[in-house]
């Protein structure tokens, strides 16, 4: 379900970007001074405005639906669930060893390997 909604959301986003880019620039916003073009009539502007509004509404609806679906799979967690019981003592590091020295596995010395020739 979530994958289908993401695909629909992406198609709406692409259509929304396309309709916004097709609209006439009124202030020369990107340096493209508004002149005449193949979409310069008033009726086309109304269609593009309505299309943009509908696509924006669908975009918000799919965004909200994706947020709700993501919230269903989330489980409430607490940091206290993983805490050690009260009274348990953590062993102190040995002298000269830091935390990283305690974590890494000990290195087992082995016989030296001769270099391989090809």
Q: Would you state the pLDDT for residue 58?
A: 97
Q: What is the rounded average pLDDT of the residues 51-74? A: 92
Spell 95-110 as b/e; 16+ CB within 10 A means b: eeeeeeeeeeeeeeee
Beta-carbon count within 10 A of 65 CB: 15
Q: What single-letter DSSP state applies at residue 76?
A: -
Q: Is the pLDDT of residue 101 over 90?
A: no
> From the centroid of its chain, how far is CA 23?
29
Query: pTM (2 decimals)?
Result: 0.51
Spell 23-45 as b/e; 16+ CB within 10 A means b: ebeeeeeeeeeeeeeeeeeeeee
Interval 7-51: pLDDT, tens: 999 999 999 999 999 887 765 545 555 555 555 556 667 888 899
Can you list the alpha helix ranges (DSSP code H) found in the chain? 2-22, 42-72, 99-103
């Amino acid at each position: 379900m979530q994958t289908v909604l993401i695909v629909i959301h992406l198609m709406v986003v692409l259509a929304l970007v396309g309709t916004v880019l097709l609209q006439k620039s009124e202030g020369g916003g990107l340096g493209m001074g508004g002149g005449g073009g193949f979409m310069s009539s008033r009726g086309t502007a109304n269609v593009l405005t309505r299309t943009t509004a509908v696509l924006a509404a669908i975009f918000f609806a799919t965004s909200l639906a994706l947020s709700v679906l993501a919230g269903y799979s989330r489980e409430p967690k607490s940091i206290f669930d993983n805490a050690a019981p009260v009274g348990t003592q953590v062993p102190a590091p040995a002298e000269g060893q830091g935390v990283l020295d305690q974590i890494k596995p000990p290195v087992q010395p082995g016989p030296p390997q001769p270099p391989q020739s090809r």
